[in-house]
């Protein structure tokens, strides 16, 4: 094993079972399995074991005390499946599920180079029978419906046979918490036995999933080394019964290794000078690879497939924090994630109609495309998700050059969202001139709800409109709307406080009292868990990057002086109560020359889950932050941004001696190496790309070919 890719439980200071279950979870974008203890399968043991299938959810009506027209109608909650790792062993009259067998965990190691979890336990029964249990498990990257386990029993002090079974009985744990970020509903699945497979049904949504256990002879004779292999196949139950034989264990392993070899060849980031940081970033990239839906029908849940946090919902996190990584390193995955958004366009169009608007409005939080956020001020009102999705399509086209995908899949999303902005916004006389205003919205900062002219929302909507105009002209569609879109984009309102030289987050933010930070105990963060929304909304306080995020995305539209001025101001009133925040402040600190500060913010993002910085890893990984750690490195330290090509510049902090990574641009691979004061870009011979040295770094463009 390559030690540089090994995460070992023994080296972590935090040993809470639920925490380890999250960190050592394995998945493949379709199946995710928490690393629950294989022998501690009944409800008397600590931990929160279970498994998840991307897009497999139950639903039920939302019960409102007071309902109003247009409110979201149904909850959607990802279903926790049985613990696929659980074992039941019997030796003579002793049964592991009936009595307490003493189990010492000798090893728990995640080999991130191969995507395989390795475990070793020493086990003793109440009657003194002892043996060692070795386990290898993974979710197959090449056969997405398979979760594979191999159990080996060694060094037994007895000769009796051991009976091995794989009980697929649900063990439900309901989170008793008032934290709105955590699902606290129990969804009891209905189980039907059909010989060697079972069908699980979500009672309200009526979604069905079939699970079949393949392999393992059930009974093994003790000896020096005994092995049984279980392959669990999970798929939508419409095709059951399914009897195709699986391949042997070694074939699964070989395929898994090859898949991860390809992933790391395209995605690895090498950091010289800080081994803890190197481990942190590889851990984050590993979980990004595990959590991404690849079938065009599923997306990337906020917690990946590692826990129930946020109920398995998809948010804007995918487009703004995760897709840049995939677009620049694994564009096929980016394409699949974007395809999902196109498949739910009909639901978005229906939602816009419910709000009496034209075009389409994508759900703020969803699994199947329907809006599931019961609190509309921090849900539906976050209209910026429309423009976030369009920005991701636009970035994909710019980086990959895949215009066919945009024409066939993305363009309709762009057009329908542009129609929505024209419908929702208004031409209003403001500051002595006619402006296009977007009122009554919530931006990324969820501590400022239902505001007028949120800067981020307006900036993103403007970009959405300009891209729609570009595509309309290119494909000669919606030509009758081009002039209206142009006028709305050109007259988009952006607030500015000339007396203080500040970009206004919204029309009234700078006019409110600043939150009493010095009087707020550290225990009262995050604020959303300790103060009524009305109290938070009436203050100057940001949950996360808002204006600063917009400026990161459109740096060329601002002077360096303005970026510094706004950064310094908004940093003082930002709590970073959202895990999405620190990475953006890290990127912008790099861009304005504050590399020491950028590094401090980055260390929080790179090690957030390994250090349990937010104190809620038990509910699942922080996927958006993991994508944000890539942004901090590549958009921040390496200065990457798109400008008719890609520009890179060196903002390395002193703690990092060398930073090396790869990018995919226009179908070609670039290897970038940053050292003190230099940026090096390596291209393949006969490349169709051109590198130009600039005063600040390098500019990589595609060479125009004469026809």
Q: What average pLDDT score do residues 291-320 get? A: 97
- Asked if 635 and 586 touch (Cβ cutoff 8 Å), the reply is no
- Asked if 281 and 269 touch (Cβ cutoff 8 Å), the reply is yes
Q: Partners of 109 in the beta sheet?
A: 8, 118
Among 519, 127, 76, smallest CA distance to 308 is for 76
pLDDT at 182: 63
Give residue 53's Cα distance to chain centre: 15
For 8-64+71-266, give the CATH class.
mainly beta
Q: In the structure encoding, which two tokens stand for residue 141, read together? A: 């990257």
DSSP state of 6: E
Contacts of 66 (CB under 8 A, 6+ apart): none
pLDDT at 707: 40
Place of tokens 């899949």: 409
Chain segment 495-533, per-residue pLDDT in tens: 999 999 999 999 999 999 999 999 999 999 999 999 999
Tell me whether residue 604 is annotated as binding.
no
Interstrand relation of 74-78 and 57-61 (parallel, antiparallel or unpaired): antiparallel
pLDDT at 235: 80
Contacts of 35 (CB under 8 A, 6+ apart): 20, 21, 22, 23, 24, 25, 26, 85, 108, 117
Peptide bond into 84 cis (omega under 30): no
Q: Is 446 among the catalytic positions?
A: yes
- The CA distance from 439 to 450, in Å, is 8
- The CA distance from 374 to 20, in Å, is 31
Q: What average pLDDT score do residues 26-44 get? A: 88
| Residue 561: how many other CB atoms lie within 10 Å | 10
Q: Indicate if the alpha-carbon torsion angle 51, 55, 57, 62 is positive or negative.
A: positive
Burial of 408 (0-12, 13-18, 19+ CB in 10 A): exposed
Chain segment 571-620, per-residue pLDDT in tens: 999 999 999 999 999 999 999 999 999 999 999 999 999 999 888 999 99
- Asked if 698 and 679 touch (Cβ cutoff 8 Å), the reply is yes
Interstrand relation of 646-649 and 697-702 (parallel, antiparallel or unpaired): antiparallel
List, in sequence order, every beta strand (DSSP E) within 96-144. 102-111, 116-124, 130-139
**Is the predicted pLDDT of residue 493 greater than 90, yes or no?**
yes
- Which residue of the set 446, 508, 571, 676 is catalytic? 446
- The CA distance from 425 to 387, in Å, is 14
Instruction: Using pLDDT thresholds of 50, 70 and 90, give the confidence band for residue 128.
Output: very high
pLDDT at 706: 43
Q: Indicate if the alpha-carbon torsion angle 342, 343, 346, 347 is positive or negative.
A: negative
Chain segment 187-235, per-residue pLDDT in tens: 688 888 887 788 999 999 999 999 988 887 555 555 556 777 888 888 8
Q: What average pLDDT score do residues 557-583 get? A: 97
Among 539, 597, 538, 537, smallest CA distance to 567 is for 597
**Is the predicted pLDDT of residue 275 greater than 50, yes or no?**
yes
**Is the predicted pLDDT of residue 236 greater than 80, yes or no?**
no
Residue 107 or residue 230, greater confidence: 107
Encode burial over 583-622: b for 16+ CB neighbours within 10 A, e otherwise.
Answer: bbbbbbbbbbebbebbbbbbbbbbbbbbbbbbebbbbbbb
Tell me whether residue 67 is annotated as binding.
no
**Is the predicted pLDDT of residue 239 greater than 70, yes or no?**
no
Tell me whether residue 702 is annotated as binding.
no
Tell me whether residue 699 is annotated as binding.
no
Chain segment 457-471, per-residue pLDDT in tens: 999 999 999 999 999
pTM: 0.95
- The CA distance from 489 to 471, in Å, is 15
**Mean pLDDT of the chain, nearest integer:** 92
């Amino acid at each position: 094993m390559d030690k540089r890719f090994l995460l070992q439980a023994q080296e972590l200071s935090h040993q809470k079972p639920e925490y380890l279950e999250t960190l050592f979870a394995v998945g493949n974008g379709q199946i995710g399995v928490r690393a629950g203890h294989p022998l501690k399968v009944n409800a008397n043991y600590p931990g929160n074991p279970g498994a998840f299938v991307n897009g497999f959810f139950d639903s039920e009506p939302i019960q409102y005390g007071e309902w109003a027209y247009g409110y979201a109608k149904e909850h959607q909650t990802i279903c926790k499946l049985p613990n696929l790792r659980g074992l039941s062993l019997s030796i003579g009259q002793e049964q592991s599920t009936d009595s307490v067998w003493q189990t010492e965990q000798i090893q728990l190691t995640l080999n991130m180079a191969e995507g395989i979890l390795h475990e070793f336990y020493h086990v003793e029964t109440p009657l003194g029978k002892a043996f060692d249990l070795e386990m290898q498990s993974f979710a197959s990257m090449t056969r997405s419906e398979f979760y594979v386990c191999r159990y080996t029993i060694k060094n037994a002090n007895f000769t009796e046979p051991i009976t091995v079974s794989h009980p697929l009985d649900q063990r439900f744990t309901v989170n008793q918490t008032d934290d709105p970020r955590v699902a606290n509903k129990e969804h009891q699945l209905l189980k039907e036995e059909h010989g060697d497979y079972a069908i699980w049904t979500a009672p309200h949504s009526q979604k069905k999933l079939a699970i079949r256990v393949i392999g393992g002879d059930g009974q093994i004779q003790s000896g020096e080394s005994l092995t049984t292999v279980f392959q669990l196949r999970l798929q939508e139950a419409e095709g059951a019964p399914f009897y195709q034989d699986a391949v042997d264990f070694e074939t699964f392993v070989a395929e898994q290794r090859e898949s991860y070899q390809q992933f790391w060849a395209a995605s690895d980031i090498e950091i010289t000078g800080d081994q803890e940081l190197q481990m942190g970033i590889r851990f984050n990239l590993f979980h990004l690879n595990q959590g991404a839906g690849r079938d065009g029908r599923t997306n990337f849940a906020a917690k990946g497939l590692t826990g129930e946090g946020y109920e398995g919902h998809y948010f804007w996190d995918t487009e703004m924090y995760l897709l840049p990584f995939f677009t620049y390193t694994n564009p096929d995955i980016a394409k699949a994630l974007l395809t999902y958004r196109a498949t739910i366009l009909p639901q978005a169009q229906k939602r816009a109609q419910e709000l009496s608007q034209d075009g389409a409005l994508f759900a703020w939080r969803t699994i199947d495309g329907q809006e599931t956020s019961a609190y509309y001020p921090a849900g539906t009102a976050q209209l910026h998700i429309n423009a976030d999705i369009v920005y991701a399509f636009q970035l994909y086209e710019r980086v990959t050059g895949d215009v066919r995908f945009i024409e066939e899949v993305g363009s309709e999303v762009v057009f329908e969202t542009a129609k929505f902005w024209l419908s929702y916004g208004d031409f209003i006389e403001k500051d002595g001139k006619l402006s296009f205003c977007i009122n009554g919205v919530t931006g990324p900062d969820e501590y400022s709800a239902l505001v007028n002219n949120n800067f981020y929302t307006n900036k993103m909507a403007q970009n959405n409109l300009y891209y729609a105009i570009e595509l309309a002209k290119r494909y000669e569609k919606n030509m009758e709307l081009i002039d209206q879109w142009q006028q709305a984009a050109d007259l988009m309102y952006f607030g500015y406080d000339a007396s203080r030289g500040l970009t206004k987050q919204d029309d009234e933010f700078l006019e409110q009292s600043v939150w009493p930070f010095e009087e707020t105990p550290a225990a009262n963060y995050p604020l959303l868990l300790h103060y009524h929304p009305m109290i938070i909304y009436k203050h100057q306080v940001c949950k996360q990057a808002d204006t600063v995020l917009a400026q990161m995305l459109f740096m060329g539209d601002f002077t360096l002086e303005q970026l510094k001025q706004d950064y310094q101001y908004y940093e003082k009133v930002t709590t970073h109560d959202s895990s999405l925040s620190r990475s953006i402040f890290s990127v912008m600190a790099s861009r304005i020359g504050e590399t020491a500060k950028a590094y401090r913010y980055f260390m929080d993002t790179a090690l957030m889950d390994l250090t349990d910085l937010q104190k809620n890893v038990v509910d699942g990984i922080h996927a958006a932050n993991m994508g944000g750690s890539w942004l901090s490195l590549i958009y921040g330290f390496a200065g990457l941004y798109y400008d008719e090509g890609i520009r890179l510049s060196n903002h390395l902090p002193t703690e990092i001696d060398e930073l090396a990574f790869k990018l995919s641009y226009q179908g070609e691979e670039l290897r970038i190496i940053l050292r003190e004061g230099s940026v090096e870009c390596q291209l393949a011979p006969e490349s169709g790309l051109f590198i130009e040295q600039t005063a600040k770094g390098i500019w990589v463009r595609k060479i125009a070919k004469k026809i």
